[in-house]
Amino acid sequence: MIDLTSKAALVTGGGRGIGREIALRLAQAGCSVAVSDIDIATAQTTAQELEQLGVKALAVKANVADAVEVEGMFKEVLGAFGTLDILVNNAGITRDGLLVRMKEEDWDLVLQVNLKSAFLCCKEVARSMMKARSGKIINIASVVGLMGNFGQANYSASKAGLIGLTKTVARELAGRSICVNAVAPGFIKTAMTDKLSDTDKEKLSSNIPMQKLGSAADVANAVLFLASPLADYITGQVLTVDGGLVM
């Protein structure tokens, strides 16, 4: 049984999908959770669900690609909780297209939301975690950051970059007992993959050794483990949650 009752976490992009499930899983372990999202309405709905589990919850509106908003988000969360033990950099977007047709603005936006955001958030949280000499940072990457994917030059580059960032920050903060890891989901049933046609979904599943898409809960369970004391000696790792797609 994982007990996070004295801990406080921030989950970015926690209004829906995988982020919402991560927030719920952490709250079920007793953790206070701040849910940030660019869409405050969804963050508030998730925060209300968390409160019903009997934990402290906070909804924060922030575009994580914006340095000023990120700074404000950490001020608000630290003001409310006094400490931040767990940061989950989950917010992410796709703007798919073949390389030859990809617009520069779609490249820039995906890199900003998926990668620059994690740099900004890691930088903000590092100060308080270094002072506390403990902390867990979990970056939600993707298997496509390890293997590439047709039509996702921007997205796969952002996730590969996130893995590089994870390993470097892990090295820089290890001496202060701060663990920094990435979770790389495979293909997970969420709004992001609902956009795919049934034929594409079937094609995807047939390439997965376990022959099915994963669930947001599968990813959240991996995050809960890495956020817990069970993972105190694990840092700089990429944990794939993908039904065996990458091995």
Of 81, 107, 155, 187, which one is the catalytic site residue? 155
Choosing from 28, 177, 193, 205, the residue that interacts with ligand NAP (CB under 6 A) is 193
Residue (37 or 106) nearer to ligand NAP, CB: 37
Cross-strand bridge partners of residue 31: none
Are residues 108 and 58 in contact, defined by beta-carbon separation less than 8 angstroms? no
What ranges in the chain are assigned the alpha helix state H? 17-28, 40-51, 67-81, 104-111, 117-132, 144-147, 153-173, 191-194, 198-206, 216-227
Q: How far is the CB of 177 from ligand NAP (least distance, A)?
A: 26
How far apart CA 142 and CA 246 sit, in angstroms, is 11
State yes or no: residue 92 binds ligand NAP (CB under 6 A).
yes
The count of other CB atoms within 10 Å of the CB of residue 83 is 16
Residue (5 or 206) nearer to ligand NAP, CB: 206
Region from 48-56, 84-92, 202-210, 230-238 binding ligand NAP, contact rule CB under 6 A: 84-92
Choosing from 9, 88, 91, 231, the residue that interacts with ligand NAP (CB under 6 A) is 91
**Residue 155 annotated among the catalytic residues of the structure:** yes
State yes or no: residue 160 binds ligand NAP (CB under 6 A).
no
Tell me which residues in 211-240 interact with ligand NAP (CB under 6 A): none
Report how far Cα 242 is from the mean position of its chain's Cα atoms: 15
Residue (149 or 177) nearer to ligand NAP, CB: 149
How far apart CA 174 and CA 180 sit, in angstroms, is 8
Query: What's the count of helices (H) and strands (E) in the chain, helices before strands?
Result: 10, 7
Q: How far is the CB of 136 from ligand NAP (least distance, A)?
A: 17
Residue (35 or 170) nearer to ligand NAP, CB: 35
Are residues 140 and 93 in contact, defined by beta-carbon separation less than 8 angstroms? no
State yes or no: residue 63 binds ligand NAP (CB under 6 A).
yes
Strands (DSSP E) found in the chain: 8-12, 32-37, 57-61, 86-89, 135-140, 178-185, 238-241
Angle at 171 between CA 139 and CA 234, to 5 degrees: 60
State yes or no: residue 161 binds ligand NAP (CB under 6 A).
no
Q: How far is the CB of 216 from ligand NAP (least distance, A)?
A: 7
State yes or no: residue 182 binds ligand NAP (CB under 6 A).
no
Tell me which residues in 8-37 interact with ligand NAP (CB under 6 A): 12-13, 15-19, 37
Pairing of strands 86-89, 57-61: unpaired
**Class of residue 149 by CB neighbours under 10 A (exposed 0-12, middle 13-18, buried 19+):** middle
Q: How far is the CB of 201 from ligand NAP (least distance, A)?
A: 11
Q: How far is the CB of 143 from ligand NAP (least distance, A)?
A: 7
Residue (42 or 228) nearer to ligand NAP, CB: 42
Q: What residues are labeled active site? A: 155
